[in-house]
């Protein structure tokens, strides 16, 4: 069996191996001089590592689409990335991350400490653009539809959410305003991953009803951009871990409402009937 045949037989596993290899190896190369010299990995290193990591999901998504589905698959991917004619209610889902973040921070600033007061760094929204555009080529454009062939969209999105969250591990300590997080690294990392799993279910819900990779990209941009734009700056690691846990809880409340309403297929009944 040649390599291409092996990849075609193990498409999902091959995608994640390729994604993690490209992203994590790229991140390692960025900090290799620091590791060799024994010097501290700085915040600047972390900021450089993240855009390098974005190459993993995008390159793997395009490569696996070409290998598994050929030219027709690439045309379909381009079509789904350009699919903007969906119901206006689905575009409203882009507001879920900023609204929840604002509500969580305002509640904490009122009831716990003014340190949680959200800031308004409008330029922060731009940080979400490369993350959302490049990552979703792979996560939603390739991995999620393939995973749904063997399991329900809800189960596929939960598993993809775990893998997506863990994918951030090389840079997770450089995310957020309280970086580095010191002894609160683990609580913060777990809160971040739990939040990302919930966000992945919401992205999968929207995609399942629209087949729009573009909309998935926009929601991802909103999620990442809102965290940068609204996160409080004068905050301690323990406080950041706390508000991320509260935000994760808020996201899971929305996920619960979605799953109760739409079921494990995350789709409107009319679309489920049409798919059958």
Which domain, by its residues, includes 172? Answer: 3-275
Residue pLDDT, tens place only, 205-261: 999 999 999 999 999 999 999 999 999 998 999 999 999 999 999 999 999 999 999
Comparing 30-34, 92-96, 101-105, which segment has the lowest mean pLDDT?
Answer: 30-34
Distance CA 171, CA 20 (A): 13
Sign of CA dihedral 259, 261, 263, 265: negative
Give the pLDDT score at 88: 93
Q: Which residues contact 153 (CB under 8 A, 6 or more apart)?
A: 144, 204, 205, 208, 264, 265, 266, 267
**Spatial distance between the Cα atoms of 157 and 164, rounded to a whole number of angstroms:** 10
Task: Give the Cα separation of 122 and 117 in Å (integer).
Answer: 15
- The full DSSP string for 5-42 is HHHHHTHHHHHHHHHHHHHHHHHHHHHHHHHHHTPPPP
DSSP string over 58-96: HHHHHHHHHHHHHHHHHHHHHHHHT---S-HHHHGGGGH
Query: Does the pLDDT at position 142 exceed 50?
Result: yes
The answer to whether residues 97 and 254 touch, using CB atoms and an 8 Å cutoff, is no
The angle subtended at Cα 46 by Cα 137 and Cα 63, nearest 5°, is 25
Burial class (CB within 10 angstroms; exposed 0-12, middle 13-18, buried 19+) of 117: middle
Q: In which band, very low, low, confident or very high, does the pLDDT at 276 lie, cut at 50, 70 and 90?
A: very low
Number of domains in the chain: 1
For the cut 70, the answer to whether the pLDDT of residue 44 exceeds it is yes
Residue 131 and residue 52 in contact, taking contact as beta carbons nearer than 8 Å:
no
Matching residue, tokens 């290193």: 45
Provide, rounded to the nearest whole percent, the portion of the chain with pLDDT above 70. Answer: 97
Place 6 in a pLDDT band, splitting at 50, 70 and 90.
confident
């Amino acid at each position: 069996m040649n390599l291409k045949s092996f990849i075609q037989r193990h498409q999902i596993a091959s995608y994640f191996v390729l994604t993690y290899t490209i992203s994590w190896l790229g991140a390692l190369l960025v900090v290799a001089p620091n590791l060799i010299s024994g010097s501290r990995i700085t915040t600047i290193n972390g900021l450089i590592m993240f855009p390098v990591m974005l190459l993993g999901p995008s390159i793997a998504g395009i490569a696996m689409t070409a290998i598994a589905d050929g030219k027709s698959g690439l045309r379909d991917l381009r079509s789904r990335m350009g699919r903007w004619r969906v119901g206006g209610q689905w575009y409203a889902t882009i507001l879920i991350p900023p609204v929840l973040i604002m509500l969580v921070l305002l509640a904490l600033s009122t009831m716990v400490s003014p340190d949680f007061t959200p800031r308004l760094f409008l330029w922060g929204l731009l940080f979400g653009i490369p993350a959302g555009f490049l990552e979703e080529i792979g996560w939603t454009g390739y991995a999620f539809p393939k995973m749904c062939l063997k399991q329900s969209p809800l189960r596929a999105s939960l598993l993809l959410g775990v893998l997506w969250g863990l994918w951030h591990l090389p840079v997770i300590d450089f995310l957020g305003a309280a970086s580095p997080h010191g002894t609160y690294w683990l609580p913060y990392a777990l809160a971040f991953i739990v939040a990302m799993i919930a966000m992945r279910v919401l992205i999968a819900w929207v995609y399942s009803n629209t087949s729009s990779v573009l909309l998935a990209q926009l929601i991802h941009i909103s999620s990442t951009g809102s965290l940068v734009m609204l996160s409080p700056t004068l905050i301690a690691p323990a406080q950041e871990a706390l508000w991320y846990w509260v935000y994760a809880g808020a996201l899971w409340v929305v996920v619960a409402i979605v799953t109760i309403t739409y079921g494990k297929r995350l789709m409107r009944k009319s679309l489920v009937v049409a798919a059958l």
